[in-house]
Amino acid sequence: MAQKRSAKLDPRLAATAALVRPDAIFADIGCDHGYLAIELMRRGAVRGYACDINPGPLASAQKNIEQAGFSAQIQTVLTDGLQGLEQYPITDVTIAGIGGEVITDILKQAAFLKKPGIRLILQPQSREHILRSFLFENGFPIFYEQALRSGRYTYVVFAAEYTGECRKLSLLESYCGMLPEQHTAESKEKLLRTAGFIKDIAEGLSHRGNAEEAAQLLTVYQQILTITDNLLNN
């Protein structure tokens, strides 16, 4: 029997793995080389589905899964996002390393997620404000969020579950999430990067004559600067 080796995960994937529940039946969407799926089995998952839209990475994942000794527990699935996975008894869904807009599109096409008990663990690479807004407006409130540093950049990972309670976020809430509540250097760094992103968007809108929208974003920019001034001082 092949030795069950631990997968080496970067901080983003390690934080994602930590939010998957013990005894989960997971679906890892965009599994790439399968390292996250392998680690989830090592941590006690019951079964998993390593999914990718591209045959090349999926073949690599299959090879790594076999070498790690988990080919009986992890099934590789060639699919676009979550399409076709409604037939499986999935409890936890992980989507990491792609943009917030793309994750949002994947979730929009997976109506079967709208039932209590399925946990979404999401790690967007960018535009997390779009994903936050979608989740809350469609009954998936975020109950956990963490900022973390991986390499040169800071990212967020968050977890959400369907409750059916829908709420429209303010601009500030969509851009900041739960980060203002966390007095960490990573949260402050992520918020400052977000503020810079917002300022760039506002300047572009202003140049194109969208003064009202630009002013709204600049207000959020100033609010975030005020938040970051207080984050590590209280």
CA 183: distance to chain centroid? 21
pTM of the model: 0.93
Q: Are 174 and 198 in contact (CB under 8 A)?
A: no
Q: How far apart are CA 7 and CA 164, in angstroms?
A: 36
What is the arithmetic mean of pLDDT over 201-223?
Answer: 93
**What are the pLDDT digits (tens) for 36-49?**
999 999 999 999 99
27 φ/ψ angles, rounded to the nearest 5 degrees:
-125, 120
Question: Can you give the pLDDT at residue 7?
Answer: 53
45 φ/ψ angles, rounded to the nearest 5 degrees:
-60, 150
CA distances from 134 to 21, 128, 131, 163, 178 (A): 23, 10, 5, 14, 15
pLDDT band at residue 8 under the 50/70/90 scheme = confident
Q: How far apart are CA 106 and CA 212, in angstroms?
A: 32
Question: Can you give the pLDDT at residue 2?
Answer: 39
* Residue 101 confidence (pLDDT) above 90: yes
122 φ/ψ angles, rounded to the nearest 5 degrees:
-125, 135
Count Cβ neighbours within 10 Å for each residue of 100-130 and write b for 16 or more, e otherwise: bebbbebbeebeebeeeebbbbbbbbeebbb
